[in-house]
Structure 1
Amino acid sequence: MLQVPFIRENKALVIERLAKRNIDATEMIEAVIALDDDRKRLQSELDNTLAESNTLSKQIGILYKSGEAQKANALKDKTSALKDSSKTLNDDLNNTVVALHELLCKIPNVPNQIVPSGSTEDDNLEVYKEGDIPVLSDNALPHWELAKKYDIIDFELGNKITGAGFPVYKGKGAKLQRALITYFLDKNTAAGYTEYQLPLLVNEDSGFGTGQLPDKEGQMYHVTGDNLYLIPTAEVPGTNIFRDVVLNETELPIAVTGYTPCFRREAGSYGAHVRGLNRLHQFDKVEILRVEHPSKSYEALEGMVNHVKTILQELKLPYRILRLCGGDLGFTSALTYDFEVFSTAQDRWLEISSVSNFETFQANRLKLRFKNSEGKNELAHTLNGSALALPRVLAGILENYQTEEGILIPEVLQPYTGFSIIN
């Protein structure tokens, strides 16, 4: 959530940058400033009214003690009017504060200056590409057919047990899935991230803190009986470790990793592009997140991007990195890099990771602060990324590593799987 002082001091910049998201924010920004003006005015009037009422109350006490009851009673009528006025002012102030908060919750984060303008994913900017795209045989199969051929993922069984988008991994498929999770966690902890095992359900405060609530698109699973939400990513419980926390500057940076299943309704997702593992309601993901000093967060973002690069280099998968345009940028992000793996069998790029800097946007919602060198509380910067999301990485391995003899296992994973081929 944007801070009101930041909006006031950078009004033109905020409107200009939000235009990268194809949003004309002029009216909203003007409304924020007007509501904040009203808030300040009402607070001042309320303070003055309460001060006057307190002064009169003291005078009434003195008058009664002095035997001047008539004068005291005359002032009591005035204090009664002031109490009515203060109640009205207090109600108006509370309503204004709520309206201001609700409006601020509707305004997305301000994109970084290097975010390209654009409306759709077609306007994202490719900034890096690496790896050779393998040449497959004419009878190469997409991963959902390979899964059936080698009996390693059962989509129909998942549909029977739960519904579409809940696959069942079995045999070597389950072991490959587990191998990827362990490999990703080992890579992350070796890079200095502390591993956490996190809850899979969160409360409303946690969902609000990282920006998943209000859930404008209805993508979260809601456990209505207990008013809890199934997590869409480990970012939510992981970042909320630090909600309502004041850190010492010497504690920064903080680096966290965790594996969780993730749950997304994926409302409105249909068509051939969502077949198999391409888009699921339940999937596994290993997340990395950081709490950083504002002066070092973009250096940290670069480090996170390079970290994900090393994983894909070791898996020897062809990949590219995109800098997301304003129209494709997430609500809470100031700058996001997407990683995509090329699926040779599907002849398309599959998104496998997003690495983002939220600057102070989440921290303001979370009240996540640190005490700076001057002893003042300052909002930290938060960052997160997938390292990595499993379904499309697995799809890329199955499709790009398929041979006439079977599906080869990337060399780096073989110590984890205990086998070198699925056949």
Structure 2
Amino acid sequence: MMGTTMEIETPDFAVLDQAAVATPTDLRLVIGACIASGVSHLGSSTMPFQISALIDRFHISASSAGMFGFFEILSLSIAMVAMLPLLRRLSYGRRAVLGAALISIGHVLIYVGPPWLPWLWGCAIVGGTGYGIIFSAFIAGASGADNPDRVYSLACGGGLIVLVGTIMTLPWGAALFGPLGPFLSIAAVSCLLAPFLSYLGDTVPPSFREAAGGRDSLGWGAFLLLAMWTGYSVGSSIVWSFADNIGRAIHVPEGVIVTLSSVGIVLGFFANMLGAAIAGRVNRVVPLVAGILGTGLSCMLTALAWNTASYCAGVVLYWIFVMIAYAYLLGAAAVLDRGGRVGTLGGGCDRIAYAIGAPIGGLIVDHGSYHMLGFAGVLSCIMLVPACMPAIARALRQSDARLSFARG
């Protein structure tokens, strides 16, 4: 029986190893991953500007504009998973370019279309689908790298640069094209960066798909990782969604709250660079656990803040730890499944969980306090770590060992 098992499994591991070598950690892959990471997060990161633009131009209610955001984020999450079987014949690069085209089409249609709510929500679904396709292509394209932890860390840091640069263009779009100008700005950026998305990969070997879809690709460790990831995302969303309100409640100056966003982005970038530097040199479990625990504790510090200094410390630490945790969650998913399915499922769960966390946090604030919010956030972030992490670490070691065995 053991001999039969080895005859079946060894070729699959060899295929996985060849696929990993075929997509090295080279400059083209890193550039494509950085651009894809940034573009795929444009929708959620610019959502306040999109909602404000719709209200200013069409004079719709806040709830109707909020539904626009709901449909865009929901379609992103669904597209990440649902579009995988439909686009299997396309390379990762071509999928991402298709996603950029859908983003541009959806946003341009908002600009030229009528102020009809079903039309606006339909455009949100088109654009959200584009974001989801790029997101899944980014995760799957980088999952076959020799050192996925490093690629994801660099991509998350580079994606921040894309986000900041795009947000800077939104006021120009509004000045040139009116209230809906930000939608054209996002469409233009998506078109301009689309050629770089093709760097994610030109080919997807059928043998790699078969190996990645084998019975070992979604083992017990992968499901535990997804469960831990979901709890972590819900917990961070519970607190982070109300971070501004917490600051105002303890009379933190508005200018400080705004400045913290810029400072946090810069420090998050450097945290990703640190994550890239230690990737392959430190056991990936260490930065993964540190990122999750650090995020939970920073959420608690933010919610329990008693003055400006403690609030600033909580927000800054949140940015540092959440960027490390996110990159290494993606890296761990890639090690468990070189086909990118676990990472794609994790990314989709992350977006859905983040959306769920906000209303949960709202209920806690309405019927409790910010202190209760902090305890709920940290509990959700870290409660599954002790139960799940040992099995996840064991699965990661086994995956690394199998790849090492395949390499001889």
* TM-score, normalisation: structure 2: 0.26
Larger-gyration structure (1/2): 1
Query: Which one has a larger percent helix, Structure 1 or Structure 2?
Result: 2
Indicate the structure whose relative CO is greater, using CA pairs within 8 Å and at least 6 residues apart.
2
Query: Which one has a larger percent strand, Structure 1 or Structure 2?
Result: 1
